[in-house]
Amino acid sequence: MPAWPEVIMERIDNLIGGALRGGRAVDVQNPATLDIVGQVPAATADDLDDAVAAARAALASDWHKADVRQAAMLACAGRLEDERDGLARLLSLEQGKTLAAARVEVDIALRILRHYAAWEEDPASTFLRRTHAETVRFDRLPVGVCGLVVPWNYPLAILFMKLGPALRAGNTLVIKPAPTTPLTTLRLAALFAEILPAGVINTVTGDGDIGTLLSAHGGIDKVSFTGSTATGRRVMASAAPTLKRLTLELGGNDPAIVLADADLERTAARLYLSAFSNAGQVCAAVKRVYVERRLHDDFVAALERIAQGITVGEGLDPASQMGPLHTAAQRDFVVSLLDRAAADGARIFRDGPDLPDLPGHFLRPAIVSNLPHDSALVQREQFGPALPVVAFDRVEEAVAMANDSDFGLGASVWSADEDQASAIAGQLIAGSLYINTHSVPPDPEVPFGGAKQSGLGVELGDWAMDEYTLRRVIRTEHLPQGAL
């Protein structure tokens, strides 16, 4: 088992064809301290070509055998569990989230991997029709070489949302982690390389240029991308000439509608947790709240009480409850939205313990009220620790405001009357609808995907297996009894 020092400053290379490969060094920075915590290589076009070639060669290995894949995935899950603490520490250092949150993320990855390792399709479910005259069924083939492009906010959890079903289906992978959070992914790839056949998993690190080359590469059969809607459009354009299969999990601006009969303290606590987990840097977080006017002031006060007690700090500090934003650009964007809201007369609450005396990208959680639905903070995906709360008088008004967005990732309704809440939720346009909850941790049994400009396709659940397989229809016409 490798040693995991308190502060890591080491070089971690890419994995291509079962061997480590270096290149020009790129620094990886801790967003809390701005210390350099590691280096990775800048992959080249030749590196990508070699990674794709290795992945394609691995398709012809024993990897095509389902029992081989299952045994290997279970062994990888065991290795992931053994290295949980070290991986969580490395994740906290490079991403900025608290160590507790990083441990939860490793556990999510482990649960997803074990779920898909155990996945078996019910043979009866593959029959589409059975009559005395014919049988129609389907079988599955792997798509082939899959390019997995992973964001910086949840580098492990989102990777495994893709990796789990992709490997179980028999595909081989070229993984591109975000340029600012590559360390944990490369460390994990090196550990898995001791178990998996060479070429099953390959990594390439770098900026958007290598990502564009990956999505356009003729040797890659599918791209699964998680990131912003703007980048998703570019991925789609790059993939178009080769008609690649795509899964795109993109931006969100999730609304929550809170009715006057909702449990005040429970609802405020649950919505706060959804909105401010990972410093608000969650695609499926609650990003705007519409509260029935009778409850509005009390609800805002309840959120403010929670926010006031939050300690913001460096991820490895046990006292920290929220880490920094991941980049200076993201922090500055959130600040610009708050400044615009303040200039428009909004009430902004962000009291609490002082921010740490560190150079990183810290903000206190902000509860913003007394602003209209058409304000920039409500309309834009802030992706940071600022939650706008808007009052409404009629449910029809709240539904219209909730649906007034180009995004459609998730939406929730909160009420003591579950039937009423369900009826309201049915009017909302989103890929995931929630009653008295919102954006729970990724559940490997439950599909996740978006509507409108929040994406194409789904992650997780049995549906994810459709994203990573080619289903063939097999029709058999039964010969008449006694026929030659």
Catalytic residue positions, numbered = 249, 283
- Alpha carbon distance 434, 252 (integer Å): 15
Coarse DSSP helix, strand, coil percentages of the chain, rounded to the nearest 5 percent: 40, 25, 35
Contacts of 388-391 with C-beta under 8 Å, sequence gap 24+, read 388/287, 388/288, 388/289, 388/341, 388/346, 389/289, 389/291, 389/296, 389/299, 389/300, 389/303, 390/288, 390/289, 390/290, 390/291, 391/290, 391/291, 391/292, 391/293, 391/296
Q: Which are the contacts of 15, defined by CB distance < 8 A and separation ≥ 6?
A: 21, 186, 189, 190, 193, 201, 202, 203
Any residues with CB less than 8 A from the CB of 336 and at least 6 apart, and which? none
Q: Which amino acid belongs to residue 228?
A: S
Determine the number of helices (DSSP H) and then strands (DSSP E) in the chain.
15, 25
* Structure-block tokens of residue 105: 């993320």
d(CA 405, CA 438): 18
Q: Which two tokens stand for residue 266?
A: 């429970």
Considering Cα of 455, then 460, then 462, then 464, what sign does the dihedral take? Answer: positive
- 457 three-state secondary structure: coil
Is 414 in contact with 256 (CB distance < 8 Å)?
Answer: yes
| Residue 413 parent element (H or E) | strand 410-414
* Contact between residue 31 and residue 361 where contact means Cβ atoms under 8 Å apart: yes
Contact 57, 145 (CB under 8 A): no
- Which H or E run includes 142? strand 134-142
Q: What are the residues whose beta carbons fall under 8 Å from the beta carbon of 305, sequence distance 6 or more?
A: none
Amino acid (1-letter code) at residue 375: S
User: Which residue in this structure is represented by tokens 């040797």?
Assistant: 219
Neighbouring C-beta atoms of residue 476, cutoff 10 Å: 11
